[in-house]
A and B are shown apart, each in its own frame.
Chain A
Amino acid sequence: MKGYRFVTGAVVGALTSATMMVAVQAAEYPTKAIELIVPYAAGGGTDLVARAYADAVNRHLPQSVGVVNKTGGGGAVGLSEIMAARPDGYRIGMGTVEITTLPNLGVARFTADDFTPIARLNAEPSAITVNAGAPWKTIEEFLAYAKENPGKVRIGNSGTGAIWHLAAEALATKSGLKFSHIPYDGANPAVTALLGNHIEAVSVSPAEVSSHVAAGTLRILAVMDDQRSKAFPDAPTLKEKGIDVTVATWRGIVVPKKTPANIVETLRTASKKAVEEQGFRDQLAKMNLSYAYLDGPEYKVAMEKDAEMFKVLMKQIGLSK
């Protein structure tokens, strides 16, 4: 009996202190280490951005931020975990463009509305890249060839339903063309196939082909962005060519929707200071990643715009469930 009473007492005590702790924590957040969940494997692009951010933001928060990789399901596992985290600001996450695409595939329990965006850190547009030995010197020639040979042009992407597949599909729908979409296990194998002339083009980001473009083995025909890429100013945007397609992958910090406003504020301010550090920008530049900071509210607008676009597109091409 004594033991039983002791257990009850302990439980009550623990519960009370836990409730009090939450109250205290909300007031003077953060009081303990923050976990930054990355839905992709260590060493990949998203992970590198997260680690660079964690490095920078640690100088602007009283507690440290540690990166935890939760991989699987093309990002669905990690993103679900961010969504389902207790909204106390101690588990924040790297939100990627998959927040807006996975819900349409019917493989995720979340939608874009389940997250409060804190800061966008990086964005990479899609680009149409061909082998340097290919006959097409401009995007017009390439598209004209695709028009004459419907279904013959094979575009490699990083997986069905993944962002670069959707980019190629968006181009196909907007310009009324028919491509053969070949999914690979990530962007790198697709680039390898292009180097070996096994496919005609890839729709991955300029960063993912930059070393080959520099070496003269691949050629970027166009980027799907609002402005030309700083690294490859010679490649035109599709917009310039009259095709209104902009598709980009992006990465940024998000928290669960119900996170209290003061915590969101703290994180936003710290993130803003972190991205202003030259060290952070240098780090991104070294990794061939573009700095594309947006503050919470603007990030939210961009996210909603993408959510809407992919909802329409994925229904159109029959990927939605």
Chain B
Amino acid sequence: MYELDMLLHGAQALLNQPMALLLALFGVTLGIIIGALPGLTATMGVAILLPFTFGMDPLSGLLMISGVFFGGIYGGSVTAILLKIPGTPAAAATAIDGYELTKKGQAGIALGTATFSSFLGGTASVFVLIFLAPVLARFALEFSASESFALAVFGLSIIASISGVSVIKGLISGFLGLLLATVGLDPMGGFPRYTGGYTELFNVPFIPVMIGLFAAAEAFKSLEDPQVRAGMAAALDRIIPPWHIFRRQLGNIARSSGLGIVIGMIPGAGADIAAFVAYNEAKRFSKTPENYGKGELGAVAACESGANGCTGGALLTMLTLGIPGDAVTAVMLGALTLQGLQPGPLLFKDHADLVFTLFAGMLVCYVFMLVVGLGSLRFMGRILQMPKSVLTPCILALCIVGTYAINNSMFDIWIMLAAGVVGYFMQKWDFPASPVVLALIMGPMAEANFRRALSLSNGSYDFLYTRPITAALLSIAIVTLLLPLLRRLWAQRSAGGPSTINPAAGTSRMGTPE
């Protein structure tokens, strides 16, 4: 095995570079912090650290950046689970069930599961990167505009499964998100739409809206709670999930990691999409899909292993083809070029030693992530014991600072606060916020790629059914949309007789967690 040999050599070389390992540890720690803070994403963390790598040797610089990348994707889950503040867009999916678990007093296990799932998903993806890179790389090139459009439609169909109690309210939220997604420059013609003359609105202010809907709304809600001095919950009792519970998630994690790796390889699709898709598929294959949305450990495991599975997938196409799989690797591409390493087919030939040392380092980064993550959780868990009179102002301040940091723009802060007010009423009236986030991610992707595909095919709609990947993804989307409906019909038929028409029976079935 050539790869295994090279990897062992790489690991040896790595041991002689304690400085690189130290920087990797620093990168992972910084990444977790950046990921946990709202507004600061892995992309931004990598971009900020980029200039510091100018003076480093390639291995140290790239390992530090990989550390920030890995840590940043994972870090988002911590605040998502504890406080329902998704630090990164991917963690918006984790927040759905993660925060419910915290409310049930199971924050510790949720965090532990998230950490192990991130580690497993990420490590699996790095192994795929090491051993299967040349085989899989061509797959990314199959993806053209029509395939990306179909993926986005599939993504939108997931709204049906993350809607919570009422699918109608979920759809309303989703369409609200789609409406918001039309604001900005028309992706093909470049015309400003609904911008009211503000240049700031040329791009949909996605992250400010997300921070507002989740974090600010949650903070506003806790303002009305009279028991301001009380903490939210007791301390974390147990962090490492018991084996008999975690064992049941292994299949789920394997599937989610695989999905994450594939989605990571697709140009323009990143951890956020992977997390939502993993959630959807975990629910589809779960024996208890009705628990999803009410605090299901499987949901947390799926989102986190999916999101971190993305890292290796995105790196795979970036390193082998020079095509960044997502926004973070686009910045990393710059880092590699700066070090005189041209990503692309020649990289593995000309710099094989360095590349495999880097791979070994990436595996070490994930081990660091596991250790730092588990080590810090107890400390992070203290947040829950803080009295709300302290915690709520802190959260609001973090929202504002984090939002400002994205573009150094006051305008974004107003958007965030407005979204917070909307989010507060949405919570009050039971409209889920995650469909809005999902629609904001997928809406622009669907629109731009649909119109691009049309323009590529000279206006013919044939691409909808002549391209196999497109047709397959669109079919899955239709199934995802119709499945809940069909399930209900089947359930009614199997229950048999006229009793199913009784509306009371229907509601009680939905209401009881089995």
Contacts and interface: CB of A to CB of B under 8 A. Distances in A.
B187 A185 contact: yes
A281 interface: no
Given A48-B334, A76-B202, A80-B199, A185 B47 contact: no
Interface string A229-256: 0000000000000000000000000000
B141 A192 contact: yes
B456 A42 contact: no
Interface in A190-234: 191-193, 195-199, 210-212, 214-215, 217
B86 interface: no
Interface of A: 41-44, 47-48, 51, 55, 68-74, 76-77, 80, 105, 107-108, 151-152, 154, 159-161, 180, 182-185, 188-189, 191-193, 195-199, 210-212, 214-215, 217, 283, 286-288, 319
Contact of A195 (B145, B323, B333): B323
B344 A288 contact: no
B458 A196 contact: no
B199 A215 contact: no
Nearest to A152: B458
Interface in B448-468: 448, 452, 455-456, 458
A217 B345 CA distance: 9
Interface string B32-55: 000000000000101110110010
Given A72-B202, A198-B144, A215 B452 contact: no
B47 A41 contact: yes
Given A195-B323, A196-B141, A215-B346, A42 B203 contact: no
Contact of B141 (A70, A154, A184, A195): A195
Contact of B190 (A68, A159, A212, A283): A159
B189 interface: yes
A303 to B, nearest CB: 21
The 5 closest A-B pairs by CB, nearest first: A42-B47, A73-B202, A43-B331, A196-B141, A160-B190
A68 B51 CA distance: 13
Contacts of A44: 334
B324 A188 contact: yes
Contacts of A210: 342
Given A196-B141, A283-B54, A43 B342 contact: no
A72 B408 contact: no
A100 to B, nearest CB: 16
Contact of A43 (B47, B187, B343): B47
A132 to B, nearest CB: 12
B44 A42 contact: yes
B337 A288 contact: yes
B246 interface: no
B267 interface: yes
27 contacts: A42-B331, A43-B47, A43-B334, A44-B334, A48-B334, A55-B51, A68-B408, A69-B407, A73-B199, A76-B199, A76-B202, A77-B407, A105-B190, A107-B192, A152-B458, A182-B455, A183-B187, A188-B333, A192-B267, A193-B145, A195-B321, A217-B345, A286-B337, A287-B334, A287-B338, A288-B337, A319-B190
Interface string B311-333: 00000000001111000001101
Given A154-B456, A182-B455, A73 B185 contact: yes
Contacts of A108: 199
A283 B340 CA distance: 10
Contact of A42 (B48, B185, B199, B267): B48
A159 B54 CA distance: 30
Given A42-B331, A48-B334, A154-B456, A70 B408 contact: yes
B330 A188 contact: yes
B3 interface: no
Among A196, A286, A319, max chain B CB count under 10 A is at A196
Nearest to A217: B345
B407 A214 contact: no
A72 B203 contact: yes
Given A43-B331, A105-B190, A185-B268, A215 B345 contact: yes
Contacts of B338: 48, 286-287
B409 interface: yes
Given A74-B190, A197-B141, 17 more contacts: A55-B54, A69-B407, A71-B407, A72-B203, A77-B407, A107-B199, A152-B458, A180-B458, A182-B456, A185-B448, A189-B267, A192-B267, A212-B322, A214-B346, A215-B344, A215-B345, A286-B337
A47 B330 CA distance: 13
Given A188-B324, A214-B346, A73 B200 contact: yes
Nearest to B186: A160
B144 A193 contact: yes
A183 B188 CA distance: 6
A198 B344 CA distance: 19
Nearest to A183: B188
B143 interface: yes
Given A154-B456, A192-B141, A73 B344 contact: no
B190 A211 contact: no
B408 A69 contact: yes
B142 interface: yes
A184 B190 CA distance: 11
B324 A286 contact: no
A70 B199 CA distance: 12
A68 B331 CA distance: 17
Contacts of A71: 203, 407
A283 B345 CA distance: 24
Contacts of A283: 54
B23 to A, nearest CB: 18
A208 to B, nearest CB: 10
A196 B337 contact: no
Interface string B425-455: 0000000000000000000000010001001
Interface in B210-246: none
Given A43-B50, A198-B145, A70 B344 contact: no
A42 B407 contact: no
Contacts of B342: 210-211, 214
Contacts of A154: 455-456
A195 B318 CA distance: 13
Contacts of A180: 455, 458
Nearest to A213: B344
